[in-house]
Amino acid sequence: PLQFLRQINPHLLRRAARQARRVITFSRFSRDLVVNALGPGWEERVEVIPPGVDPAWLDLQRMQGDPTTAEILFWGRLEIEKGLFELLQAMKEVALQVPHSRLTLIGEGNQRQALEAEARRQGIASRVHFPGWLGEGEVQRLASTARLAAFPSRIESFGLSVAEAMGAGVPVVAGRAGAIPEIVADGVTGTLVPPEDPQALAAAIVAALKHPEPALRMAETGRAAIRERYSWDRAADRLIELYRAE
């Protein structure tokens, strides 16, 4: 959605929007982008209806993973805006303090080769795994035993992977950027760090791995919040309500 908004001619966007009574976005952050693109007078016509999280994530059973490995997961596009170079830089420090830590970056993207080179440059290639895209069931299987999910994005129009991880009860460290603070309440349902700050990211990951009890408590609170706020039933009800109002 962000790439679309950057590339589309604002004049064409305004012209198309004039044919609509309402414009729907997934987050307040995206809403502000759209309102800014469309110009004055659109504040009351752009609605926020977050998507739902697949029930399979909400029903996922947390399992005991390999006790000799502290597995950190990311899933999504391997692109600059996902903050993965900072994550690899952070992992160098994490590896020193938590020697049994390992990072798996699930997904594909334009930056995969550069990220693999960065892992080698940081001296952590042996503990960073790039499996490519996996089926959702396999991602869920890995998430069920992961110690932590890390999403240090520089910008997000919503952050579905963040919501999925929280819905599954996985402790989350994420970037305080874009729409992510709408999903993660810092210190309550997860941990937020400044974007593009490998030191802060490393400190948050190390804290979650060395002191898992607070991270797990936040994860349980986060799971309940996702179940309440991000169901498809809730999204459908809101959409029906919007149509009826018209």
Concatenated DSSP letters for 74-104? EES--SGGGTHHHHHHHHHHHHHHSTTEEEE
Work out the percent of the chain whose per-residue pLDDT is above 70.
95
Q: How many angstroms separate the CA atoms of 151 and 84, rounded?
A: 8
Does the pLDDT at position 17 exceed 60? yes
pLDDT over threshold 60, residue 64: yes
| Whole-number Å distance between alpha carbons of 63 and 103 | 18
Q: Name every residue whose Cβ is closer than 8 Å to that of residue 28 and which is 6 or more positions away in sequence.
A: 48, 179, 182
pLDDT for 6 beyond 70: no
Taking alpha carbons only, the member of 76, 59, 228 closest to residue 160 is: 76
Please give the average per-residue pLDDT across 160-182, as a whole number.
98
Domain positions in the chain are 2-48, 55-228
pLDDT tens readout for residues 67-113: 889 999 999 999 999 999 999 999 999 999 999 999 999 999 999 99
Greater pLDDT, 12 or 239: 239
The topology under which CATH files domain 55-228 is: Rossmann fold (3.40.50)
Q: Is the dihedral of CA 199, 200, 205, 208 positive or negative?
A: positive
Of 59-73, 180-194, 198-212, least confident by mean pLDDT is: 59-73
- Say how many residues make up the chain: 246
Residue carrying the six token digits 């997000």:
156
